[in-house]
Each structure stands twice: as C-alpha cells, then as structure tokens.
Amino acid sequence: MPAELTLAPRKVQLTTRSGVEISRLLPHQALRAIGAWVFLDYYGPTDQDEAMSVGAHPHVGLQTVSWLFSGEIEHRDSLESTQLISPGELNLMTAGTGIAHSEISTGSAPLLHGVQLWTVLPESARHLPPHFEHFNTIPNFEHNNLSVRLFMGTLGGHESPATRFSELVGAEMSIAENSSSTLELNPDYEYGVLNIKGDLAINGAEVPEGHLHYLPTGAKSLEARSTTGARWIFLGGKPFTEKIVMWWNFIGRSHEEIQEMRDDWNSNSSCIPAFSDLINQRIPAPEMPHLHLSPRSLQR
C-alpha cells in the first residue's frame, strides 16, 4: 500500500472526435484505486464546442458515477433511459452484465465542469442485470465547518440514496476562506481528495488544483485548511481485495472474459441492445493488446 502522497494528473483526449482534453487521476502509475473507486476523470471548466460528445459505448462489470459542478449533459442508454444531469444531481449507472450509453453536453450552460468516476463491482454483484438511477436531490449538509454534498455512501450521520455494492463514500466538499476543518475518518478505509478549486492543504500538504491527495488505511482524521476557500471531491473506501482485469470500458476476471465482452460489442450482439444517441455514433472497442491480460490486485 503506498504512503500518503499527492498525484499529478495526466492529460488524455476524451474522444478523438472532439479532441477535448481532460485530466485522468485514476488509475495512476502510483495508485490503481481508492477502495472500489477505480477510475477518475476530471474535466473543465471549458466552453469548448462539443465539450462532452461521447457516442454510444459499452460498460460491463462496473458502475459509472457522473457529477457536475457546472453545465448540463444528456444521458441516454440501452435501457431506454433519457436523462439530463445538472450540477448537484447524480447519474448512477450500474452496468452489471452489460449496458451502453451516450453522454452529450447540451450547450445550454456556458461552462462544462465535472468528474466521471467508476466503481468496480464485486463478484457478488457483477452478474446483476444493468440498471440506471438519477437523483435530483442528495444529502446536502454542514459538517465540521464543511459544506457537504454526499453522492455515495454515508458520512456525518447522513446516507446517500444511491445503490452501492462496496463499503465506500463519495462527496463534494467546500470550505470558506481562512478556515480549517478536521474530518473523522474510518481507519479501515483509504481516501483521496481531488482539489477542484482554491488553495487547499490536507494534513499540512499543499494540494494544487487538479491534483489528487491520497491517504492510506490507518488514518483516523483528515485536516483541511484553506485561505482562499476551496472545493474538492472526497473519495474513500475499504480496499478492494478481488483481483480484476480492467481494459477499455470493461472489468472482468480473466483475459477470456474481456475478449468475449469486446467481441459481443463489436459484433452488435443482443447482449447489449442498440439505442439511438444524439450524434448517431457507435464507438467500437479497440484491438485487444498483443499479450495475455492477467488478473491483478488493486493493492500495490
């Protein structure tokens, strides 16, 4: 398990179609996951045309968690769900055995700014049928000098209504200028703090905007300080102990499973029904790597 550290993002293209650049924090060379949180993309704020323009694409074996700070995105999926998501609302898609969806920014708001997260489904849940949830309201409260919007898990006596399959927590937090806060932690969890805006120190370590600060298991508290005021994403969870294979948009337990998922999608198998998105684009899975994908632990 790595020690407490601060990770810089790497820049990647959201899609080759739009050329929009985003920041990827998980998985990272130094850190594969935080609990069951295995993927974290941070994007914006941007006023680029087609800032989010991702056509139909599949997911298997995971949950997608969409959270906005500004802007608006339309979600469509192979369950025939159509849903606009706005800041402070939660889109949660449990892929289970397989689902496809599209994400298109509407342009009705001037700036698009948000995060996209995945959680890995444990063996007990990964074969469930897919389903989609949207929550217009989630717990929004003050806690130890912090403003908290709790989108997953439990915190401070509050619980998100979102379905989860592992012991984890996810929240947006903010603190006023010239303030500090001490947050009690579960020592069985590992945690991460993604600084969205402002100067922020976590346990005395400066965390630049767009960087992720990681705390391993064993920590009982977290101290946050800011002079300008700050906003961040707070993630935590009990370390995920199952070995997995994570490739493209699929999470399985063997190379053969991933190959089957890819072939099903690219052959238009009925495993994932077709649907119409706003841009009439179906993104094919790339070629499999020229090596055998072996299950790996998320722990280093």
CA distance 193 to 87: 19
Q: What does the pLDDT look like over 11-36, one tens digit per residue?
A: 998 765 556 789 999 999 999 999 99
Residue 207 clears pLDDT 60, i.e. is over it: yes
> Tokens 């965390």 correspond to what residue?
207
Name which of 127, 160, 135, 131 is nearest 235 in CA terms: 160
Q: What does the pLDDT look like over 228-255, one tens digit per residue?
A: 999 999 999 999 999 999 999 999 999 9
- In 10 A of CB 223, how many CB atoms? 12
Domains and CATH numbers, the chain: 5-237 (2.60.120.10)
Q: pLDDT exceeding 70 applies to what percent of the chain?
A: 97
- How much is the pTM? 0.96
CA distance 98 to 103: 17
299 confidence band (pLDDT: 50, 70, 90)? confident
Q: Mean pLDDT throughout 176-180?
A: 98
Q: Mean pLDDT throughout 118-139?
A: 98
The reported pLDDT for the residue numbered 2 is: 65
Q: What does the pLDDT look like over 40-83, one tens digit per residue?
A: 999 999 887 778 889 999 999 999 999 999 999 999 999 999 99
CA distance 190 to 200: 19
The reported pLDDT for the residue numbered 278 is: 83
Q: pLDDT exceeding 90 applies to what percent of the chain?
A: 87
Q: What does the pLDDT look like over 87-119, one tens digit per residue?
A: 999 999 999 999 999 999 987 767 999 999 999
Residue 1 clears pLDDT 60, i.e. is over it: no
For 78, the token pair is: 């192979």
For 104, the token pair is: 């298109």
Choose the weakest-confidence range: 105-109, 138-142, 193-197: 105-109
13 burial (CB, 10 Å; 0-12 / 13-18 / 19+) is exposed
Question: What is the helix (H) or strand (E) element at residue 256, kind and residue range?
Answer: helix 255-266
Residue 167 clears pLDDT 60, i.e. is over it: yes
Q: What does the pLDDT look like over 267-282, one tens digit per residue?
A: 998 889 989 888 888 9
